[in-house]
Amino acid sequence: MTNFVIVDTDVFSYLWQEKSNYKQYAPYLNGNVPVLSFTSVAEAYFGATKAGWGPARLKNLDQAIRRYVVVPYDEQLSKLWGKLKATAQATSHPLGAAAQTNDLWICATAIFHGAPLLTNNTRHFAGFPGLKLITI
């Protein structure tokens, strides 16, 4: 059986750019299939565009993303997102805030696929019902 691990945008960034603490996250991917939500891909390209990256850095980003399975938008996933958003708002969970839309998509992806989420952003995700977290 294949084990999937949803990789949050922050951890993806640490890993592919080999930022300060990236080595702490790599062992969690050993023997697992690393997965990105379509939202993380969008966040990565947003950050690159905002920072004015040139063709060489964008090509590097393209290559890094290709090492992951990218989970696309799906009608059932969007229905789950709607339920999770209502739950988050009803329980005053941080993912219910308007500013956390992207994180909620990533959360929904992990829950929908029954995979743990590898993140450095515990504050946004901790305590969300049905979400399995891998944090350091």
Report the Cα 95 to chain-centroid distance in Å.
13
Q: Would residue 129 be called left, alpha or beta, if left means φ above 0 and alpha means ψ between -120 and 50 degrees?
A: beta
Selected residue with higher pLDDT from 21 and 112: 112
Report the Cα 122 to chain-centroid distance in Å.
12
- Give pTM, 2 decimals: 0.92
What's the burial of 54, exposed, middle or buried (CB within 10 Å: 0-12/13-18/19+)?
A: exposed
64-81 pLDDT, tens digit per residue, is 999 999 999 999 999 999
Q: What is the pLDDT of residue 1?
A: 35
Q: What is the pLDDT of residue 2?
A: 59
Q: What is the mean pLDDT of residues 113-119?
A: 95
87-99 pLDDT, tens digit per residue, is 999 999 999 998 8
Spell out where the chain has E strands: 4-7, 33-37, 69-71, 117-118, 133-134
Q: What is the pLDDT of residue 136?
A: 82
Q: What is the pLDDT of residue 39?
A: 96
Domains and CATH numbers, the chain: 4-134 (3.40.50.1010)
20-72 pLDDT, tens digit per residue, is 788 899 899 989 999 999 999 999 999 999 999 999 999 999 999 999 999 99
Q: What is the mean pLDDT of residues 98-102?
A: 90
